[in-house]
Amino acid sequence: MKTLRTRTRIAVLLTLSLALLAGCIVVPPSSPPETPPATRPATPSEHLDPTWRFPAAAGVPNDPLPSFVDVVSEVRPAVVSVMTEMVAYDLFSQAYIQEAAGSGIIIDSNGYIITNHHVVQGAKDIQVELFDGTTYSATIVGIDPLTDLAVIRAEATGLPFATLGESADLAVGEWVVAIGNALGEGISASEGIVSRLNVSVTVGGNTLRGLIQTTAAINPGNSGGPLSNMAGEVIGINSVKVATIGVEGMGYAISADSARPVVQSLINQGYVVRPWLGVSLYTVDRFTARVNQLSVDEGVLIVEVSARSPAWEAGLERGDVIVEFEGTPVRTTNDLLQGIVDSSIGDEVEIVYVRGEDRITTAATLRESPAPWD
């Protein structure tokens, strides 16, 4: 009996041993793969130089990053938050008060403030708040939609003010600081560099030209605030930014050199004098052409002609479509407006327009634009 048990145990152990061996794969040792011989040039290159090292950097000291404290301390007292109230209407034509916030920069101790046209457009009440919390009522001095600039005046004197610099002296890569009422949460500062100069951006059908592109963060509420150089001079008025998925660091400021004559005119006479044709316009597209039964689907439709204006004297009428101005094709209202602005008061300009099926050429002598309240 004992012998049987012993044999049984031996048989079980033998079976387990065979099972374990069956579950293993024994790979015989193999010799290491042969290493291919190193590829060498047939003959040494004549350009080999055992003494070569990476060239040393030019002997220019590494300047530390600039300190923005002095710049912000100098400019910030002249920056204001601009709070506006305007009447808006809901879907049921019920009026309600809509509030908005922007920024501005004081340029005179008597309270003249530069801001954007779109910040104060349609405002019924304007309040400006200084960095120290002091609040003043303000009124519109003049607006210029074409450049998105406006001047307002606070009811105060002896205010701190900033100096407009020369934006023509800017260089790409130069440090700048944007200061303003970002997101309506009070005056804050953000730093960046000048990315591009003399940039054009189309906003709401109007093309702003001569802009400064910057990486300094320009958020809602920054509009109308200053873009300053490291000398504490205002070299731009923050205006717009590209806000879309995948795009960062593309803000734009109206250059100080472009703003200076506009601001001067707004303060002196309340509007900007430019060459004037005297027409109200609408860009023609296929839908407009079909609805108005036009024979062309590109150009600008004359919606209104001012009495005794250069356009009226040149024989232009409501319903005509202007297709050329001074030999240049006109496809949008902006094309025609820019052609007029680039001309001078007193210039005789050639205009090609379509009336019905006829293509007609005429000439108009541009005059000084009248005051907007006339």
- Secondary structure, 3-state, 326-354: CCEECCCHHHHHHHHHCCCCCCEEEEEEE
Options 103, 117, 118, 309, the catalytic residue: 118
Annotation marks residue 47 as catalytic? no
- The model's pLDDT over 200-234, given as tens digits with 9 standing for 90+, comes to 888 877 888 899 999 998 888 899 999 999 999 99
Active site residue 358: no
Secondary structure percentages of the chain, helix, strand, coil, to 5: 20, 35, 45
Residue 232: inside a domain, yes or no? yes
- Asked if residue 129 is part of any domain, the answer here is yes
Instruction: Indicate whether 14 belongs to any domain.
Output: no
Choosing from 188, 223, 258, 309, the catalytic residue is 223
Structure-model confidence comparison of residues 247 and 106, the more confident one:
106
Whether 220 and 298 share a structural domain: no
Last residue of a domain, one of 96, 123, 154: 154
Number of domains in the chain: 3
The string of pLDDT tens digits covering residues 5-14 is 444 444 444 4
Question: Is 363 domain-assigned?
Answer: yes
pLDDT digits (tens, 9 = 90+) for 86-105: 888 888 888 888 999 999 99
Query: Is residue 15's pLDDT more than 50?
Result: no
320: annotated active-site residue: no
**Containing structural domain, residue 234:** 167-269
Domain boundary among 269, 303, 337: 269
Residues 102 and 190 in one domain: no
Q: Which residue in the list 144, 148, 320, 335 is annotated as catalytic?
A: 148
Shared domain for 174 and 243, answered yes or no, is: yes
Domain boundary among 269, 291, 311: 269
Q: Is 374 domain-assigned?
A: no
For the purposes of burial, counting CB atoms within 10 Å of the CB of 5, is it exposed (0-12), middle (13-18) or buried (19 or more)? exposed
Query: What pTM was computed for the model?
Result: 0.76
The least confident of 31-45, 84-98, 353-367 is 31-45
